[in-house]
Structure 1
Amino acid sequence: MCTRFIFPAFLLLTGNTYASAPVADTAGLQKVQQLNSIDVHAHYYKKTDDLIDIKKIAAPTLVIDAKTIQRMGSRRLDEVLREQAGMAVVSDLGAGNRSIGIQMQGFSSAYVLVLLNGLPLSGRFNENFDISRISVQHIERIEIIKGASSSLYGSEALGGVINIITRQHVHKPGAGLSALYGTYNTADISAFAETPFAHKKGTVHLSADYYRTDGFNVNTEYLKDGQTAPPYHSFSGQTRASLQLNDRNTLQLSARAASRNSTMTRSYGTQPFRDQLDETDVNAALSLRTNLNEYTRLLTRYYFTHYGTDQDVQIIETGKLLQENKFSQQIQRLEIQGNRLFHDGRLNLTGGMGGELLHMRNSTMAGTPDQQNYFGYMQANFTPNRKYGLIAGLRYDGNSLYGGKLNPTAGVEYTPFRWWQLKGSVGQGFKAPTYAQSYQVFTNITQGYTVVGANTFHTAVEDLKKAGLVQSVWSNAASVKALEAETAVSWNLGSRFTIKEGYTLSVNGFYNNIRHLINTEQVGIMRNGQQLFSYLNLGKAYTTGLEASLELNPLPGLKLTGGYQYLVAKSRDVEDSIRNSAGAYGKVRSDQGIRSATTSDYFGLPNRSRHMATMQVYYTFRPWALQTSLRASYRSKYGFLDIDNNGYIDNYDIFVKGYTLLYLSIQKSLLKEKLMVKFSIDNISNYTDYLMPAQPGRVFMGGVSYRFGAREK
């Protein structure tokens, strides 16, 4: 089905129909492309890694450039994203607070696709991709797409896409060093070198980063020894190179290797234990970029990625091994993309097709099969005049275990005046169940639970019963069966006002309807009293809300930005059960005892705040070459734990209280901008909460960076 759908379209894309046509009006094309822009950031750069243009995406987008990242004084990716409106950083408690994920529009980290230079990064711990693994040194920009984006990006993009683009444009030889040191013995040391070669037909960029921290403990009342966030040290190195072979073809290579090692000790008044985790992460891509003519471009690329972990937990005094888990995941991907312009650029077609081979091994999962993914996609952007823009896309994703899904996307833009733009979009996303959800048989001794994948649940539980490990299996276990893929339909309607140059207000409303939501549910008790979990397709959930952002430039060197999100994220199954006063969710344990629940009792999905807000003040005093920033982020309360075990967060459960975090960064340039002195304070008010074990107290950081060679403007 995929081949029949995409191959004729690709013949159209790559054909030479317009080879003898006159050269397009470059200025006119630029105007058309500018009118078609829907990103909400002033800076935009051409990228060479793929042919997907974020300015032509139907969903809401955001671009964070290197200058903004530098002004923030951030070191890891989570530190950048936590200060963006509508994006919440959440730590995975089951992974020992090692995995820090990101929420967008109410979708958890499991539904957010993380890309490096347009290609997916592997390695999810408990389904979360740990964004703290990524250093932001030498990142050129971060492209963010919110909502279902499967028409171009495919599976795992129900909640959105984060595309990390490393430095790609090199015009002069240069090198640099940077060193930061601060609280918790945190050190961040990085270096880079770059140069053009072959008479500037080729470029190469090399960079490396070393990071370490002692970790910290924000739960001293209950955790007597050890850390709530583990100490670790990590190293990453990456390179990007390109070589123009001739007038039409350019060969590109990118590679990255990283490792992280952490050892966590804990004692809750019983036997202290040590939890050690070693991670490795390697990926590489080779691509050929071809410009057939002024209207047609092709990109062919091969990508390989490997992620592995080696974890063991043992009692410190006796050395007894409590748990061991070895995990590895490999992806090999081959893809071809094409882009074609028609009618002097008013019609732009982007398409592609490819396949993936996924290989995984886990010591806790027996006989995990390999998977094959195959996909094809096409998107058309049509701009008949300066006021109107239309977007239509279609993608087919197939999986060897879970079948396939066709996902459409559509969008429209209307610009009645140059200062006012309206845009709306609807897109469908698709996400196949993960290996762990389908085949996992895993006992977490330190946290006290057992998880059995849905596809092997009944066979695996029978084996556990025969071994005498299961005390009881509940009636809801009868509903456990082979999982279906999750789907989501995202609606967005936004408006952007450009009051004058440097004064912009954007407002966007969104609604995401999710079907076949995969939920973790307790289905029994083990003989030792531990909980027995599995996964079920519960059916329906939704997230809806409003986002707003404001940018002001009232004075030279002064920039003010702010953002706000209102979010409601709930399960329709819970709401229906409460309205009907029946089913699994019909009761609530209030201060007066167990009673029938009302809709006002239901707060929503856990870890989702109803209100979130950010504010940033950036100021550059050019006579002193001084840059400062003062930022704040706010989250209202959110549900943490369902203590009455009725299956949802109600008003009588445990909540994390609302809080505000403040950040300050000061940077001073010296020696004609070759040397920069840096100082920052994170969490100025020293706010901590034992329910937020990965949120450190006040952190001071200071250091310098030096660049050799001429500075590129």
Structure 2
Amino acid sequence: MKNLIWILILFNLQFSFAQEITKISGFISVEGRKIQAANVHLLGTNQKTISDSLGYYSFENVEIENGRIQVTLTGFKPVTQRFSIIKGQNLNLDFDLEDNENQLNEVVVSGTLKAVKRLESAVPVEVYSPVFFKKNPTASIYEALQNINGVRPQLNCGVCNTGDIHINGLEGPYTLVLIDGMPIVSSLSTVYGLSGIPNSLVERIEIVKGPASSLYGSEAVGGLINIITKNPTNAPLFSADIFMTSYLETNVDLGMKFNPSKKATTLLGLNYFNYNQVIDKDKDNFTDVTLSERISIFNKWNFKRNNNRLFTIAARGMYEDRWGGDLRWEKKFRGGDEIYGESIYTKRGELIGSYQLPFEEKLMVSFSGNVHYQDSRYGTTSYIANQKIGFLQLTWDKKLGRNDLLAGIANRYSYYDDNTTATKEAESTWLPGIFVQDEITLSPKSQVLLGMRYDYNSIHGSIYTPRVAYRWKKNENTIFRLNAGTGFRVVNLFTEDHAALTGSRDVVIKNDLKPEQSVNANLNYIQKINFTNGTFIGIETTAFYTRFSNKIISDYETDPNKIIYDNINGYAISQGISTNIDVNFTNGLKMILGATFLDNKNVENGISERPFLTENFTATWSISYKIEALNLVLDYTGNVYSPMKLPLLSDLDPRSPKSPWHSIQNIQFTYLGWKNFELYGGIKNLLNFTPKQNNPFLISRTNDPFDKNVQYDSAGKVLVTPDNPYGLTFDTTYVYGQNQTIRGFFGLRYTLR
């Protein structure tokens, strides 16, 4: 009897103790889909587990009342969640993981015209999501690219502040800009067309560095930028992003989704930008920044079809009125020689779309068209231009055993006319082409891509562009890729080089300009490092080499009153090495670091010379830290550039022949504590850098912009006079960076899903 009593007492004690011990369990999922093999850690203890095939996890015998559980899985953001429990009660705790925007697992299309995981693509493609660009909010895609390694927005005019995009030190005309894979921004519109694309409608931006002419044809010589817009089906019902700077620049981005019918979804976007403050902090009596009013409307439709076949169509219209110049300028002075101003009116329309044909074979018709009208006055110089581009392409996508085939035919029509003496009559060009690409899987770890394109230019004749790529995956974390290919480009100076339009210099074309051609090779290496605590490091390094023949070079030095264009009597080289490092810590700290070493040179008559406005080194960074307790995100972004050669007007020109080392740095704070809202603010250009530092002036002779008081000798050389002690003329080409001082900004985002 005594033993029975003791047994009952021990049983009751054990039962009571068991009631004090808690079980924590739940499911791990991504967008409702259960995820296997996620790592789950009860922080502060040795208890760890992984989710099973149903996404289920559990911890038995949890003895702590308050704690944190962390879930990690390669390719997804680490998630940590606090819990509080009552003794004797079990707790159910589910986790929903999100893709990590800094990882290497994105789906890309720009490298091979096929949707493929980035790590599985034989062609290296860099991907940047809206999360990246939110770290330093800007009013245009052009400005947003400033923190991407190896990509530099280059200002080309110190008055009207137009610019282009340099990739690996190559000038803007060597970069093809696409919207949803269609060549919509090119030639004349490269100067002005990158403005006004609503940031709120951008899904991601893909960048390919190096020639891609075997797939995309002309202009994809130095690389391409593909702006992928959001799928209306997956877009939020409404989004708004509004911000203003202390310069009183105001930018509004709005996006709205509608379902007009069961089979149609449409996305409407609006971008409005306004800046009308006349500011002259460098005291030259000219505007520091161009004044501008711009509106852009974007509309994209998706239609549901049988067998999930694709049908999408989008249109965009943009109008901009910008001016810069003498502080006293008004529109009544437009085109006159009384008060100097540069005034540009731009009207632009675009149409793009894709339609999958109703056959068993995967046949896709893609098309785009744009019209671009520009009415400009650069002082007394009138530049009125009209450009139309149409593009139609049919592709066939087929897998046969180890072969993944893509073949296509395309045709491009370009029309261009302007009122300059160099364009005696409107120019129409047809560019039909045919291409084929075969991606061959040699083994589970290796694949080779072979491509060939033939185009026939109605003016210059036949053009061939071959391509080869090889990818070897040593393991899941180590990948090597070797790419080689060619590129070609047909040049129209008056649609690409803003300096040729301003009227501050005469344009001289020495000979009939031949199309430029290039040969490129690059070696790409990716290394992923995953730590047991969830920390991730991704390293991507690319060595590249491009050799140009027939490169068109601009001579600013022979005659200060002229820009002389000619094909190089030799060759040009662009080579270097670029490295990107992504680091994600489990404590909320993330870093994206990049650096590029460049060696660009023109070799003519045995003499090697570095081109203007080309840096030897550039670095970028984006550092983010999330303070969970405060619902606050801190973003610190920036770039640094080595000196660049700049165009001077004479031996007496007092301006520096090279730019200094310079850096633009920004900081931003974002509050996430309100549902559906993001409140953000910060400071741009923390170091207060402007190009005038260490220079007496940027724009020469702003006191005499029409050169009325400039005297010349019999040979046309500018004379030194008491009124002109340096022997200069009015010139706006000495520019290498933005001319805005330190400034604050404040904004609000709202998203309704």
Q: TM-score, normalised by structure 2?
A: 0.73
Q: CA deviation at 1:444?
A: 4.2
How far 1:218 moved relative to its partner?
A: 6.7
Partner AA of 2:316 in structure 1: R
- For 1:261, which of 321, 330, 336 is the aligned residue? 321
- Aligned partners of 1:313 and 1:125: how far apart in 2? 16
Which residue, out of 666, 669, 678, partners 1:676? Answer: 678
CA distance in 1, matches of 2:501, 2:237: 51
1:131 alignment partner, SS class = coil
**1:312-711 paired onto structure 2 within 5 Å:** 312-313=377-378, 322-343=380-401, 346-364=402-420, 365-434=423-492, 436=494, 444-445=502-503, 447=504, 449-452=505-508, 454=509, 480-500=510-530, 502-521=536-555, 530-531=561-562, 533-573=564-604, 576-577=606-607, 602=609, 604-642=610-648, 654-672=657-675, 674-690=676-692, 691-692=735-736, 694-708=738-752, 711=753
What is the distance in 1 between the residues matched to 2:471 and 2:277? Answer: 48
In the aligned structure 2, how far is the partner of 1:137 from the partner of 1:677? 16
In structure 2, C-alpha distance between the alignment counterparts of 1:694 and 1:632, rounded to whole Å: 14
CA offsets 1:394-434 (integer angstroms, 9 cap, x no match): 11222111122110111111122322211111110011122
Count of equivalent residues? 597
CA distance in 2, matches of 1:252, 1:48: 18
Counterpart of 1:297 in structure 2 is 362
The answer to whether the 8 A contact 1:563-1:615 is kept is yes
Q: CA deviation at 1:532?
A: 6.0
> Which whole-Å deviations, capped at 9, do the CAs of 1:425-481 have from their partners, x for residues lacking one?
111001112263899997744x2x1114x4xxxxxxxxxxxxxxxxxxxxxxxxx33
Q: Does 1:44 align with 2:50?
A: no
Q: Distance in 2 between the 1:172 and 1:78 partners?
A: 23
**Paired residues for 1:125-204 under 5 Å:** 125=188, 128=191, 131-171=194-234, 174-196=237-259, 198-199=261-262, 201-204=263-266
Contact 1:189 1:211 in 2 (8 A): yes
Alpha-carbon distance in 2 for matches of 1:550, 1:443: 40
Cα 1:219–1:367, aligned 2, differ >3 Å: closer, same or farther?
Answer: farther
Superposition CA RMSD, Å: 3.3
Larger RCO of the pair (alpha carbons < 8 Å, separation 6+): 1
1:125 is displaced (CA, Å) by 4.7
Cα distance, 1:236 vs structure 2? 0.6
Change (3 A) 1:351 1:666: farther
Give 2:713's aligned residue: none
Q: Counterpart amino acid of 1:572?
A: V
User: What is the rounded CA distance, in whole Å, between the counterparts of 1:442 and 1:658 in structure 2?
Assistant: 28
In the alignment, structure 1 segments of 5+ residues that lack a partner are 1-33, 315-321, 455-479, 579-601, 646-651
* TM superposition shift of 1:288: 1.1
Q: Tell me if structure 2 keeps the 8 A contact 1:178–1:706.
A: yes
Q: Deviations over 1:159-190 (max 9, x none)?
A: 10000011115247611333211222100112
Amino acid at match of 1:558: L
The 8 Å contact of residues 232 and 260 in structure 1, kept in 2 or not, is answered as yes
Inter-partner Cα distance in structure 1 for 2:350 and 2:235: 27
Contact 2:110 2:208 in 1 (8 A): no
The alpha-carbon deviation at position 205 of structure 1 amounts to 0.7
Match of 1:75 among 139, 147, 167: 139
Q: Over residues 507-549 of structure 1, what are the superposed CA-to-partner deviations in whole Å (9 max), with x where a residue is unaligned?
A: 1111111111011236987xxx943634334330001111011
Query: In percent, how many aligned pairs have the same letter?
Result: 18
- Partners in 2 of 1:481 and 1:621 — Cα distance? 62
**Map of 2:304 onto structure 1:** 244
Does 2:352 align with 1:285? yes
1:273 aligned partner, one-letter code: Y
C-alpha displacement of 1:48: 12
Name the CA distance, whole Å, in 1 between partners of 2:128 and 2:347: 27
Q: Which AA in structure 2 matches 1:306? A: V
Shift, 1:623, TM fit: 4.2
Cα 1:204/1:90, change in 2 over 3 Å: same
Counterpart check, 1:273 vs 2:279: no
Q: Structure 1 pair 375/625, CA: closer, same or farther in 2 (3 Å)?
A: farther
Query: What residue identity is the alignment partner of 1:515?
Result: S
**What is the one-letter code of the residue matched to 1:264?**
G
Distance in 1 (alpha carbons) for counterparts of 2:247 and 2:171: 29
Q: C-alpha displacement at 1:250, in angstroms?
A: 3.5
- Report if aligned partners of 1:215, 1:230 keep a CA contact under 8 Å in 2: no
Q: 1:57 to 1:400 in 2, by over 3 A?
A: farther
Give the unaligned 5+ runs of structure 2. 1-74, 76-100, 330-336, 693-734
Task: State the one-letter code of the partner of 1:702.
Answer: F
1:8 corresponds in structure 2 to none
Q: Which runs of 4+ in 1 moved over 6 A?
A: 46-50, 267-270, 437-443, 522-525
Larger Rg: 2
Q: Which amino acid aligns with 1:278?
A: Y
- Any conservation in 1 of the 2:279–2:288 contact (CA below 8 Å)? yes
**CA distances 1:583-642 after superposition (whole Å, capped 9, x unpaired):** xxxxxxxxxxxxxxxxxxx5x111111111112111233444322211121111111125
CA spacing shift, 1:281–1:661, aligned 2, 3 Å: same
